[in-house]
Amino acid sequence: MSIYDIPLKTIDGKVTSLKEYSGKPILIVNTASKCGFTPQYEGLQALYDNKEYKAAGFTVLGFPSNDFGQQEPGTTAEIKEFCELKYHVKFPMFDKVATKGKEQHPLYSYLVSHSPAKEEKTKDVQWNFEKFLVDRQGKVVGRFNSKVKPESPELEKAIKATLK
């Protein structure tokens, strides 16, 4: 199974998958509305709006999660409204998912098990706003913890490498 075959739901409840992103670089981020890292929505939106990246097919995908400190307690409708009104989020958002534990969504099982760093492969997602960079072939080529801001040189360098 590839990353593109995993069933998902959009934040509006539409059943989908990542098939429409096949052949495109994507940044997958677990998000939360009541977290100290929540202002990263601004940087994620800036990455999504970057003309060079967009022209190369790059996109950002947000996956709300309530796994850490109950920092995403709202309904999907509340999450969508918060993201749109507070941070003007236009990048695709999905239904709330579990990123770890017994209820871990298959997408996050895939991302964690296919992470490039050997020491990271067995570790769960550590906190909100952890980022996974997926290349055009659907391979997880980068994993960045919450402290790595969307505008960090480390992340931007990795994104640029996927645009080629």
Q: Which of 135, 74, 62, 133 lies closest to 99, judged by CA?
A: 62
Q: Which two tokens stand for residue 66?
A: 């309530």
The one-letter code for the residue type at 32 is: A
List 24, 34, 35, 98, catalytic entry? 35
CA dist., res. 44 & res. 37, Å (int): 11
Is 83 one of the catalytic residues?
no
Class of residue 44 by CB neighbours under 10 A (exposed 0-12, middle 13-18, buried 19+): buried
Catalytic center residues:
35
